[in-house]
Structure 1
């Protein structure tokens, strides 16, 4: 029986191989959870020896943290694209509409998973804090753009960003167990944003019918 790695090896550039490893780990994380990421599990998915994965990530916890950070960053870039030239109002409305949509349920569960594990995994905790700060800064910059263009009222953008994301995180955590929230509850982040940004009800999307 031929063992793994017995065939011709495909030599890839280090950056490409590292990205491939993280991508495979992300599949494990999104389906099974971050705690299921091991060097052997990822090696099995890539059909390579665990030693190859260990060459890039000698410590499994580094791979766990990198995987979470990569997935969280990709989500943020999708929700608030840096090259979006739409108005701040339009960008904020799209962000709030999509953040809790089924499209991002798996990633939202990953955030919940990461925060739970971060209690006793310091490397992951540092990455969760880093990504959380980046999310808040990005939303705050969007708010500052809106204030600068007179689309939003003057406010403490960092504080408003924190409030909006706290509501999204809270709803996301509850949705993980019970997805039966009425539209009025699902709209709470929008309500907070409209109130804090000096907008009228419905400016960031039509009010719920229920």
Structure 2
């Protein structure tokens, strides 16, 4: 009886393999925390030897930094997708605020808490966190500036309004690890109310379903 020859396993290109490693590390960072991202764990997830991971990333610190940058970038793109750039600024901001409060993005809040804590002791991560914060400020400020240009928003300081909104989001994210024992209705509308106040909007205008 003649056995059917196995098809040779497709060999990934270096770029494909590196992207796969980074994608896996970013997922693990969101699911388990940055401090759990090790070459050994990523190798186990991919079913490869740890030496393959170190071939593409010289150190665990470098892998951790790039994993955080990838995770933060992907989540930011999901919160403010380029495909919605043509929407009215108020609608874009409303959707952003609604998404940021969804349970789907709870891990993102935990990831930022995690990264900022670890960044105190890891200079490379501190640099990457700062870079990602700057990108988020630029993206959100551009939405606010467009809203001012179209007359949807009223503020003399778009960047300042952006910073206040992001600080409100970060403050709310500080509850991301809570067990749910504390709750108050003000937390449900805190960020939207802050944005409405900063941008001269009527109460509730950023809380619709659009």
CA apart distance, 1:178: 4.4
1:5 aligns with none
Distance 1:103 1:176 in 2: 14
Tell me the SS of whatever aligns to 1:174. coil
Give the aligned length: 199
Deviations along 1:7-40, one digit per CA (max 9) or x if unpaired, are: x774212221111001211232122211111111
Distance 2:12 2:160 in 1: 45
CA apart distance, 1:106: 1.0
1:185 aligns with 187
Instruction: Report if the CA contact (8 A) 2:155-2:161 is conserved.
Output: no
2:200 aligns with 198
TM-score, length-scaled by structure 2:
0.90
RMSD: 1.5
- Do structure 1's residue 121 and structure 2's residue 132 form an aligned pair? no
Instruction: Report if the CA contact (8 A) 1:171-1:186 is conserved.
Output: no
CA apart distance, 1:199: 0.7
Which runs of 5 or more residues in structure 2 are unaligned?
A: 1-7
CA apart distance, 1:86: 1.2
1:61 aligns with 61
Distance 2:198 2:108 in 1: 26
Instruction: Report if the CA contact (8 A) 1:100-1:172 is conserved.
Output: no
Instruction: Report if the CA contact (8 A) 2:155-2:198 is conserved.
Output: no
Instruction: Report if the CA contact (8 A) 1:143-1:157 is conserved.
Output: yes
TM-score, length-scaled by structure 1:
0.90
Correspondence list, 1:64-143, <5 A: 64-84=64-84, 85-143=86-144
Tell me the SS of whatever aligns to 2:87. coil
Which runs of 5 or more residues in structure 1 are unaligned?
A: 1-7
Distance 1:38 1:10 in 2: 26
2:4 aligns with none
